[in-house]
Amino acid sequence: MENKNISPLLEVRDLHVEVEGKEVIKGIDLALYGGAKLALMGPNGSGKSSLSMALMGHPGYKVKSGSIILDGNDITGLSPDKRAKVGLFLAMQNPVSVPGVSVANFLRAIMKAKRGEEVPIREFREMLVKAMGLLEMERSFANRYVNDGFSGGEKKKLELLQMVLLNPKVAVVDEIDSGLDVDALKIVADGVNRITGENNAFLLITHYRRILDYIRPDGVVVLMEGRIVASGGPELINQIDRQGYDWLSAKTA
Amino acid sequence: MRQPVKDIMVGDDYASKFGFSSPEEYYFRAPKKGLSHELVEMMSKMKKEPDWMREFRHKALDTFWAKPMPTWGNQEALGRIDFDDIYYYIKPIEQMGQTWDDVPEDIKHTFERLGIPEAERKFLSGVSAQYESETVYHSIRDEISKLGVIFLGMDSGLMEHEDIVRRFFGTLIPPTDNKFAALNSAVWSGGSFIYVPPGVHVDIPLQAYFRINAKNMGQFERTLIIADKGARVHYIEGCTAPVYSSSSLHSAVVELIALEDAYIRYTTIQNWSNNIYNLVTKRAIAYKNATVEWVDGNIGSMLTMKYPCVVLAGENARGEILSVAFGGTGQHQDAGAKVFHMAPRTSSTITSKSISKGGGRTTYRGWVKTTANAEDVRVSVKCDALILDPTSRSDTYPTMEIGNPKVRIEHEASVSKLSDDQLFYLMSRGLSENESRVLIVNGFIEQFVKELPMEYAVELNRLIELEMEGSVG
Ligand SMILES: Nc1ncnc2c1ncn2[C@@H]1O[C@H](COP(=O)(O)OP(=O)(O)OP(=O)(O)O)[C@@H](O)[C@H]1O
Ligand SMILES: [Mg+2]
């Protein structure tokens, strides 16, 4: 237990990432400890999603140098499914649709993958009903095809539903708040809060303070042009909310 | 869950599941390979057929010899067929069984391994099992036959209901239709004969299972289904064969007749081993207000050439052809659909899904025609091809001939590759690359799978899983 507290759940060391031949992450260091909720902010195109994709191992986002350590395991070269098995989860900004695959079948398949054996149908139903209840989702949602014709908010809810069911050690949550109405935002934030604890950590990518008012991160880092240009406590969030990012770029220029 | 085929486990291949063989024992086999009028004469005599059928066969044989090979499909593979190296008739047992206990042990065991008796007990109205050239087992539930439904092997059908057979046999697909229809007409044996009386509904499916066990064998079953006015019937066929290095030929002719207000659904799960030529002619006619649906799944075979057809002959008749083709390594699925709108207010829907993988090929070949008198016709054609790797191939050849301007046509076609983003999405949730591919492919064919009875849906998803195993990436 002692050890857990001193070594981070997620550690990123001098990470450089290229997409389509262009360097988009230009040397990032990060450490997330158990119980941490860290906000990641930054202007459009600053590299937030690229970082999250590289963390999860999307083949289009190539790690040029540096390393990613998850709970003591170097996952830098692993395929996405192996990273998931070690306990990483990414709630994506734009999840793709998988036509013809029902939400229920999909969730059952990922539960099976996590557990290494089939989840008995009754147990699965109970878990699903509970998790969907938590996120105030309609039952009929389970019969729809994954993200197929989903509204923006519905996509976000499905990402969160998976996160709740998989209960990852480290979750990177990319703009889970965009496209959500006020009520949905609160439900989603409650969902995140409910599964946070001493044994997991969250990296929350967002543009808006509102979700952070609900989730209350312990700190924030600001990304600009692929580099971390500032980090601080909750007061930095307020400052960004009031002043935007210009003053930061002026500072680093 | 119940499955017609038991114990399919991921990772086992076709050979151990379906591709096993039994010793080649038979009651009678054509004395030599190859075709001749003597052979046709002998078959017809052995089957104690009426003269008109014997003459029909002889004429068809001449037609077969006179006809050129099809000019479409896979010319190269067709060219490799050696018609002199095939046994055209193998009669496995002397007498067909009415119960499974009447069926010789090794044949019975084959069908048990394929799960047929179990499926019969659980969810079918009747079963016909063909082994080599003959129907070896046949049964229909009492409550179905009490309604006047006739479900027989085609040979028995001819013996017992000559008048009906003579009226319809070969009317939709005459021997002159194409070379393989002629061949079938000359040496046909086995298949199903079904007649459903007016107003009778057979909603629990009737099933036929076709098994080729011998090497260098030709199987030429002949099926004729007649749904009388207002009748309904669902017929399912499945097929498998042992894996051999030498090829066998399966060439069926299937004719469906849906009289006024009738409904026929014909479902096929074709899973021949990869040494089988599957060259089949299937055609249906739908009279006024009648509906015919072909639900056609092609997973196996080396080369399949098959284009189920519906002739919409009466007002308001409806035709639907829903198909899936899986072209894996060494396979070419040249499949498609044909619809002829010959009456006003008829409608048709063609949905074709094809998947090619590991150097396999799929081809969609479609022909929709409307005649001058066919007003207010609706046509919808949708073809989607999924190509899983760069060595695989898919081609689409849709043809439309519209004879009347009052027609509403929708036509969509798409060719897609397996999307990296979909793969990444699924893998990021812990599914392996192969599990992710299987899920995407099963999603791609879901529209087809959901039309199958549950047991077959489960089975088809597992077949796809088997096909997707190995040789990835
Ligand atoms: N798949 C891709 N192909 C090409 N360029 C990409 C790709 N993904 C990201 N980029 C580029 O990398 C840079 C960073 O983009 P990224 O999506 O990481 O920004 P972001 O911080 O998440 O922005 P936003 O706040 O708008 O979501 C941008 O210039 C973007 O155009
Ligand atoms: Mg982004």
Instruction: Write down the residue that tokens 């007016």 correspond to.
Output: B198
Q: Has residue B470 got a pLDDT over 60?
A: no
- What pLDDT score does B472 carry? 37
Q: Which residue has the least CA distance to atom 10 on ligand 1?
A: A19
Q: How far apart are CA A120 and CA B416, in angstroms?
A: 35
Nearest to A110 among B422, B430, B444 (CB): B430
The confidence band for A87, taking pLDDT boundaries of 50, 70 and 90, is very high
A2 belongs to a structural domain: no
- When mean pLDDT is compared across B245-254, B358-367, B449-458, the lowest value belongs to B449-458
A3 belongs to a structural domain: no
- Give the structural domain span for A102: 10-252
A5 belongs to a structural domain: no
A4 belongs to a structural domain: no
- Determine whether the shortest distance from the Cβ of A226 to ligand 1 is under 6 A: no
Strands B309-312, A73-74: pairing is unpaired
* For chain B, domain boundaries: 4-469
A94 belongs to a structural domain: yes
Chain B residues with CB under 8 Å of A58 CB are 424, 428
**Candidates B428, B431, B444, partner chain A, best to mutate (most A CBs within 10 A):** B428
Q: How far apart are CA B30 and CA B43, in angstroms?
A: 9
3-state secondary structure of A115: helix
Nearest to A87 by CA among B69, B430, B152: B430
- Determine whether the shortest distance from the Cβ of A47 to ligand 1 is under 6 A: yes
- Determine whether the shortest distance from the Cβ of A59 to ligand 1 is under 6 A: no
> What's the mean pLDDT in A190-201?
86
ipTM, two decimals: 0.95
Q: Has residue B5 got a pLDDT over 80?
A: no
Stated pTM of the model: 0.89
What is the total count of domains within chain A? 1
> What's the mean pLDDT in A38-66?
96
> What's the mean pLDDT in A160-171?
94
Nearest to A113 among B421, B430, B442 (CB): B430
pLDDT per residue as tens digits for the range A217-237: 999 999 999 999 999 998 898
Q: Has residue B360 got a pLDDT over 80?
A: yes
The confidence band for A250, taking pLDDT boundaries of 50, 70 and 90, is low
Nearest to B446 among A79, A100, A110 (CB): A100
Ligand 2 centroid vs A72 CA: distance in angstroms? 27
CATH (domain of A94): 3.40.50.300
A112 belongs to a structural domain: yes
> What's the mean pLDDT in B197-204?
95
Q: How far apart are CA A166 and CA A200, in angstroms?
A: 12
- When mean pLDDT is compared across A149-153, A208-212, B16-20, B121-125, the lowest value belongs to B16-20
pLDDT per residue as tens digits for the range B393-422: 999 999 999 999 999 999 999 999 989 999
- What pLDDT score does B115 carry? 86
Taking phi first (over 0 means left), then psi (-120 to 50 degrees means alpha), and beta for anything else, what does residue B418 get? beta
Ligand 2 centroid vs B138 CA: distance in angstroms? 64
3-state secondary structure of B301: coil
- Determine whether the shortest distance from the Cβ of A44 to ligand 1 is under 6 A: yes
Strands B201-211, B192-196: pairing is unpaired
Interface check A248 vs B, CB under 8 A: no
Tell me, what DSSP letter sits at residue A182? H
- When mean pLDDT is compared across A130-139, B176-185, B321-330, B362-371, the lowest value belongs to A130-139
Tell me, what DSSP letter sits at residue A93? S
A106 belongs to a structural domain: yes
A160 belongs to a structural domain: yes
CB proximity list for A225: less than 8 A, separation 6 or greater: A26, A46, A47
Q: Has residue B10 got a pLDDT over 80?
A: no
The confidence band for A253, taking pLDDT boundaries of 50, 70 and 90, is very low
Tokens for A147, please give them.
């993200």
- What pLDDT score does A251 carry? 59
Ordered alpha helix ranges (H), B135-272: 142-145, 154-160, 162-168, 179-187
